Every structure is written in structure tokens, then in C-alpha cells.
Amino acid sequence: MPPEGRQMIEQRDFVAVVSGLPRSGTSMMMRMLVAGGLPPVVDHERTANDDNPHGYFEFEPVKALKEDDSWVAKSKGQVVKVIYKLVYDLPIDVPYRIVFLQRDLGEVVASQEKMLEREGRDPHAVDRDLMIKLFQGEVLDFQTWARAQRNIEILFVDYSAIVTEPEAAAQKIAEFFDCGLDVRAMAEAVDPTLYRNRA
């Protein structure tokens, strides 16, 4: 990205946030936005593995937002991954543009089960249908809440649509953030081989 593009991004008066359910494609979206030119807020404590071979793009202090959110306002012009349940804890005096990943809930749960299995944990500790119903309610509640927040602009994007048509998705996302992102680089960051749990 040319220097003027980077400067444009740095001057943006909002924190870019990638959110969604676990295993909904949030790491892929982070990879796209970083490729497009948004600097990430990450600490690399959680390293790449078979579940996310390109990395998780996580920042540990996100988990402790209730105790310390002092880093958030300093992250304007950057992108951070915040799981949907923790978005509620972001400070309300900071503007955000959130891209929220939506994915078939059956695929989400199947992907979670595979990850738990690889970690040696019981993937069926919670009934699948119950988990899907729980996620449905929580996502609907989140959507209603987020749309009502004056400091939040939000874009809902479908995981499968990104994998199927990465250029069209990248264009839409770049227009939403409106900060000179490299659409081609974003599209090229999509790895369709990682769409391993399909409905």
C-alpha cells in the first residue's frame, strides 16, 4: 500500500473491529484487513495451528476489557478481533466500525467440535441442537443491541459468500471502512481450502 494510503488509515477516527461467533471466520477477516492495509492490534501469544494455520490475530487484553480498556482509544486506525460477547465491554466513548462474520450455525458448531476433539476435549459435552439455539438467540440480541449504539457502525458479512466470491466481498468491506484498503490484496488473502466444515 502506498504511503498516502497508510496515512489515510492512520487518520481514521475509529477503531476497526472484527467480531462474530467462535469459528465463524474472524481470523480470516483479520488476515484480509491486515493484507488490505489496516495495522492489527495483536500480541501473537496464540500461535497458528491446524485449526487456524494462518494465525489467530488475537490480543490477550481483549479478554480483560472490564478491568482495563485503556488501550482501546489508542487503537484508532487499527483493527482488533473482539469476540461478540466482549463487544459489550468496549468503552462507549470510542467510535467503532465492526465487521461481523455470519456463518451457518451448524458449520460453526461442527468446526468447534473438531477443534475440541483435536485438543483432547469432549466435543459433545453440550448438545449440538442446544448450542445452535443458544447461538441463535445471542446473535439476534447482539444485532439488536449493536444497531442501537450511536458509536457503532456495523456490517454483517457471510463467511461462505466471502470464500465463494472474495473480490466482491472485499470490495464491500473496503467501502464500509472507507480508508483506502487494497481490495485485491484482501481478496487474495482468502484461503478457500480452509472452508472444511460445510453445511
The three state secondary structure string of 32-56 is HHHHHCCCECCCCCCCCCCCCCCCC
The kind and range of the H/E element at 85 are helix 84-87
pLDDT for the residue numbered 51? 55
Domains of the chain: 3-194 (3.40.50.300)
Among candidate residues 54, 152, 142, the one with its CA nearest the CA of residue 101: 142
pTM score, two decimals?
Answer: 0.83
**Tens of each residue's pLDDT in the chain, 199 residues:** 444 444 444 457 999 999 998 878 899 999 999 999 999 999 877 665 565 556 678 999 999 999 999 999 999 999 999 999 999 999 999 999 999 999 888 787 776 666 656 666 655 666 778 888 888 899 999 999 999 999 999 999 999 999 999 999 999 999 999 999 999 999 999 988 765 454 5
The pLDDT of residue 3: 42
Host H or E run for residue 154: strand 152-158
